[in-house]
Structure formats: C-alpha cells, structure tokens
Amino acid sequence: MGYDFGNLVNNTTSDSGQVLNDLPHNYGCLDQIILRTNDQIQADSEIKIRVSTSDPSIEPIEMTFTNLLVVNIVPETIAPGDTAQIIPKLKNPDGSLSDFPIEQTFEIGMLDGCALGMIKTATDSGVYVDAALQPFYFIADTGAVEGTVKLRVGVIEGMSSSSLLNNNFKSRKSENQIKKSSASDNRREAKSFIDGGVIGEYCFLGDLYSVVTGDANVVVGNVCATLPKCTENNAGKKPNIEIMDFPDGTDGKNKCNNVSGITYMLWSENEKKLFLPIEIENCCDENANVIQFGIKNDLMTLRAIVTACEDVIVDQGYTILYNTTELKTKVPQNLRALLQLYSDLDIFLDYFTNENPSSPFYPIELAWEHEFQHKRNYVNEIFNVVNKDFDYLDYSKLDVTCNKYSELNDVVNEMKSNFEKRFSYFEKESIKFQFKVWGKKDGTPKEIENYRKNEINTHNAIAKKVIDKYKTEIKKLILSLPK
Ligand SMILES: [Zn+2]
C-alpha cells in the first residue's frame, strides 16, 4: 500500500524499488533498508510494508508508516531571480501539521534542475546544505531558463528529533546510527563535489543520510509560468456589457425633472470611475509567448440611473397604482369610477399626448417598464453596435509579452492602465452614437426628431401590454360589482 509515495532503498547496494528480494538478514533483522518518500506524499498518506523470509520459523510482518515530513514550497512557481521558502512540516498522529521546533536541523539537497538556482540558509548556500536551521530558501538564478527543481529535505536526528520519530523508526534507531557512519562518506563526497564548483547531471553525489526525508518541487519560469495556460486565442474577443440600475440622486445627480422616468448613463467623469471595476483574468499563451488579457466572466457593468419619477407623477396630481391589486383598494368601487379609468388608460398609449385623463390614477409600471425598455435598448442599440464596430475593447490588444516584466503585478498594472485608456475611447464613441441614434431632447432639429422617435418606439414596446393588464383587471372588478 502507498506505492505512489515512495520506494524502498537498499542502502548497501543502492538498489531501489517497490519490492526488494533476496536480502541478507540476521535471524529476521534487516538493517540496510530505508523507505524513501517522494513529492507525491501527502499529510495523510500511509505506506504499508510487508517483510517475509524463506525461514518458516520466522513469521512475516507488516509495518505501517505514516508520513512524518511534508515539504511545502511557497510559492511553488517563481520567476528567475525570485525566492521560494522551503517549509518542512511535521505530521502529528492526528493528521494535523505543525512546525518543527526552531532548533531542529535539516539537510537539503537539489536532486534535479541544478542549473536553475541554489538552496540558501542563513549561513550556507549551494546545491546541498547540511545542519540547516529554518528558515531556508530556494533562490532561482537570475539567468535561469525554465525548468523544475527537485528538492529533498531530510530531518537530522538528534536530541530534538528523537521525539519526532514514531515507534517504527525508534526501534530502528540503532541501525540508523550504523547507517549514518557509512552515509557520512556520501556526505563528504557531496561536500567535496560542491567545493569543486562543478555542477553535473546530478546536483550532488550520494544521498541524504537522514532517514526521514521528503521531496518537493519548485518550478522556475518567467511570469507566464506562474499562470494557467490559455485554452483559446483571445483575438477579437470582447466583453459583454450590462447596465446596473441605480436610483435618482446617485453621485449627486438628480435627473427626475418634469419626467415620469429616466435612464441616465453614469459615464465616467474626471477621475471618477463610474463603471464597476473590472477583474482582470490572465493566462499564458505559450505559442505567442504572451500573457493574455481577460475579464472575469467576460462582463462589464455600467452604472446608470434607471428609475420611475414618482414624486413628479404625484406632483402632477396622480395617485400611483403600484400593482393591479390596488385597483380594488385605491379606486372607488363603483361603475362610474372604474369605467372612467378603463377608458382613460388609453390616453397613456400615446407618450406625447396633450390630453389629460379625468381619472387621477397612474399605473407606475408604465414608467418603470418604459425605463427598463430604454435600458435593454441601450445595450442592444448602442453598446453592442459600438463594441462590434470598434476594437477598443478587443482583449488581444491588451496582451503583454511574457518577458516584459518579472512581476505579475506589473503586467496587471500595465493592462489596467491600457484598458482604461481604451475604455474611455469606447465611452466617447458610445456617447456620440447615442446622440446619433437616440437623439437629444434639446439638440439640433434632427436630434430632437430622433429623440421623439426613440421615445415613441420605446413606449410603444411596453405601453399596450401594461394597459391591457390593468384593463383586464378592471373588467373583472366591474363584473363583480353588486347588481
Ligand atoms: Zn423615455
């Protein structure tokens, strides 16, 4: 059990594998086998080992090893010149992780990726360090190419570490002492190798002498390597745009003057950012060697005052009906009043009517639905068209080459500032297009004409539906009047 987490190693012959056969033993005592865990091992991993002999008088035994050492690298990916901390953690019997005591010493070696950097402690540095106290680090070379460094950390046994070892290890302690002396040859070898300053295929000769070891990887690469890989090309990709409703008076703007409702885009002014901040999402496009720009959910939210102007309607002498139920509670329940309202509602079909209804009731839905229709139209007729016709918000225009910065923060900052520039062009173009398509209440004769046309179209899209709903309810009320 636990095949994925490590190998058995014969310390005498250096053989390793999941199964070791034909081992010499001393009446059932093995003293040259160590269990070497790898970087797949997790805090809750368990490894079971079965030992049997050809001697029928010796019973086979099974031993369970729980992982004692977990090595974390923070962060797991670093750019050339950057530093990652190597953090060994001790696994407790209950499965939780805790820090080693500060006086605990470790040995750390680089197994692979030797040219990518070195291990650094307060007093020592190199591809192998011994008697290291925490904290220790891996520092990527400033000129490092991309690659993966394999690190192995060993817990050096001593007065403090004896308490760290479970019974399995404790019973083998005397054997370890023997092993240690032979392993110290390796250690000397490793040292002299490093001192020679030659870095070979393996980072250091020999092996760690510690019994309890753990492996971990650190990836060295440019900023791109720290990002998820892109799954698509972002050329031509643009965000969708939605409008979020805000009440009148937002940002000190009062727009309910002499109108039954208003839809007013809160475009950015000066340094005020009146569209909701975007969240940039990056990925690494390995083929193009760029960091792709992206927006979370591909959605931008523009703020707008979208509201019915109840005070204005009340000032004009109307009683507001908030829903059809209020036809029963607010309108006098007699044939004359109900019939009057029934026919007066038709007046509201015409947005620019000069006629005044004699019935003082106004279904507020007429105003709300009118504004909601404006909002929908704005997205369809203004934003979508401008976004389609111009490439201001095209994601790929905001990509940054992988090698430009060593910090992702710098990449994001450049993207943000370029995006804001591009968004302000988008805004300008949208506002221009708005006046062209929707016109302007106080503009040129052509703009006024467009304004009226747009209002009539907007109103016609919703008025009949709302009025029919109210009329149906009034009919019901008339029919239920006492005869
Ligand atoms: Zn309108």
Strands of the 147-155 sheet, one edge to the other: 77-78, 212-220, 147-155, 106-112, 128-132
Residue 45 pLDDT: 64
Residue 183 pLDDT: 41
CA of 385 relative to ligand 1 center, distance in Å: 20
CA of 64 relative to ligand 1 center, distance in Å: 76
Shared domain for 137 and 266, answered yes or no, is no
CA of 374 relative to ligand 1 center, distance in Å: 7
**Cβ atoms of residues 212 and 155 within 8 Å:** yes
Judge whether 326 lies within some domain: yes
Give kind and range of the element (H or E) at residue 415: helix 408-438
CA of 261 relative to ligand 1 center, distance in Å: 7
CA of 352 relative to ligand 1 center, distance in Å: 11
Tell me the pairing of strands 46-51 and 240-246. unpaired
**Cβ atoms of residues 113 and 121 within 8 Å:** no
CA of 448 relative to ligand 1 center, distance in Å: 13
One-letter amino acid of 354: N
The CA-atom distances, in angstroms, between 434 and each of 99, 179, 262, 383 are 63, 83, 15, 9
**What is the tens place of the pLDDT at every residue in 62-96?**
777 666 788 999 888 888 888 999 999 988 777 78
Cα(396)–Cα(294) distance, integer angstroms: 9
Cα(299)–Cα(279) distance, integer angstroms: 10
Residue 273 pLDDT: 57
Nearest to 437 by CA among 353, 369, 377: 377
Judge whether 466 lies within some domain: yes
Token pair for 480: 């239920």
CA of 246 relative to ligand 1 center, distance in Å: 16
Residue 417 pLDDT: 92
The CA-atom distances, in angstroms, between 469 and each of 114, 257, 345, 474, 483 are 78, 28, 11, 9, 25
DSSP-based three-state secondary structure for 232: coil
Shared domain for 99 and 170, answered yes or no, is yes
CA of 360 relative to ligand 1 center, distance in Å: 22
Shared domain for 208 and 100, answered yes or no, is yes
CA torsion angle 198 200 202 205 (round to 10): -50
CA of 371 relative to ligand 1 center, distance in Å: 6
Nearest to 327 by CA among 471, 482, 480: 471
**Which of 221, 249, 281 corresponds to the end of one domain?**
221
Cα(269)–Cα(391) distance, integer angstroms: 22
CA of 349 relative to ligand 1 center, distance in Å: 13
Shared domain for 338 and 256, answered yes or no, is yes
User: Sign of the CA dihedral 123, 129, 134, 135?
Assistant: positive
Shared domain for 427 and 283, answered yes or no, is yes
Shared domain for 243 and 208, answered yes or no, is no
Judge whether 9 lies within some domain: no
Residue 166 pLDDT: 41
Q: Give me the domain span that covers residue 353.
A: 229-479
Shared domain for 142 and 255, answered yes or no, is no
Judge whether 54 lies within some domain: no
CA of 369 relative to ligand 1 center, distance in Å: 10
Judge whether 238 lies within some domain: yes
CA of 297 relative to ligand 1 center, distance in Å: 30
CA of 378 relative to ligand 1 center, distance in Å: 11
Token pair for 6: 């490590």
DSSP-based three-state secondary structure for 466: helix
* 365-377 helix and 445-479 helix, angle to the nearest 10 degrees: 140
Cα(27)–Cα(24) distance, integer angstroms: 9
Beta-bridge partner residues of 445: none
Residue 300 pLDDT: 92
Shared domain for 166 and 234, answered yes or no, is no
**Cβ atoms of residues 136 and 108 within 8 Å:** yes
CA of 265 relative to ligand 1 center, distance in Å: 13
Cα(480)–Cα(379) distance, integer angstroms: 44
CA of 455 relative to ligand 1 center, distance in Å: 5
**Which of 176, 200, 221 corresponds to the end of one domain?**
221
CA of 370 relative to ligand 1 center, distance in Å: 6
CA of 305 relative to ligand 1 center, distance in Å: 13
Judge whether 215 lies within some domain: yes
How many degrees, rounded to 5, is the angle at CA 147 between CA 142 and CA 148? 110
CA of 396 relative to ligand 1 center, distance in Å: 37
Shared domain for 141 and 234, answered yes or no, is no
Tell me the pairing of strands 77-78 and 128-132. unpaired
Token pair for 182: 């032979």
Residue 23 pLDDT: 79
Cα(118)–Cα(136) distance, integer angstroms: 11
Mean pLDDT of the chain, nearest integer = 84
CA of 278 relative to ligand 1 center, distance in Å: 29
Shared domain for 234 and 133, answered yes or no, is no
Residue 270 pLDDT: 53
CA of 456 relative to ligand 1 center, distance in Å: 8
Judge whether 366 lies within some domain: yes
**Which of 186, 221, 256 corresponds to the end of one domain?**
221
Shared domain for 73 and 149, answered yes or no, is yes
Residue 368 pLDDT: 98
Nearest to 369 by CA among 470, 447, 299, 268: 470
CA of 473 relative to ligand 1 center, distance in Å: 26
Shared domain for 214 and 249, answered yes or no, is no
CA of 273 relative to ligand 1 center, distance in Å: 25
Domain count across the chain: 2
Residue 77 pLDDT: 81
CA of 243 relative to ligand 1 center, distance in Å: 16
Residue 52 pLDDT: 79
CA of 465 relative to ligand 1 center, distance in Å: 16
DSSP line for 282-339: -EEETTTTEEEP-BGGGEEEEEEEEEE-HHHHHHTTPEEE-STTHHHHTS-SSHHHHH
Phi/psi of residue 450, nearest 5 degrees: -65, -40
CA of 458 relative to ligand 1 center, distance in Å: 7
pTM for the model stands at 0.61
Judge whether 412 lies within some domain: yes
pLDDT in tens, the chain (483 residues): 767 777 787 777 778 888 888 877 777 677 667 667 666 665 556 777 777 787 777 778 777 766 678 899 988 888 888 899 999 998 877 778 889 888 999 999 998 888 899 999 999 999 899 999 999 999 998 877 778 899 999 988 764 433 444 433 333 333 333 333 344 444 434 433 333 434 444 577 667 888 788 889 998 887 787 789 999 999 999 999 999 999 999 989 999 998 999 999 988 765 455 667 889 999 999 889 999 999 999 999 988 999 999 999 999 999 999 999 999 999 999 999 999 999 999 999 999 999 999 999 999 999 999 999 999 999 999 999 999 999 999 999 999 998 888 778 899 999 999 999 999 899 999 999 999 999 999 999 999 999 999 999 999 999 999 999 999 999 999 999 997
CA of 181 relative to ligand 1 center, distance in Å: 90
**Cβ atoms of residues 120 and 107 within 8 Å:** no
Token pair for 104: 């605990």
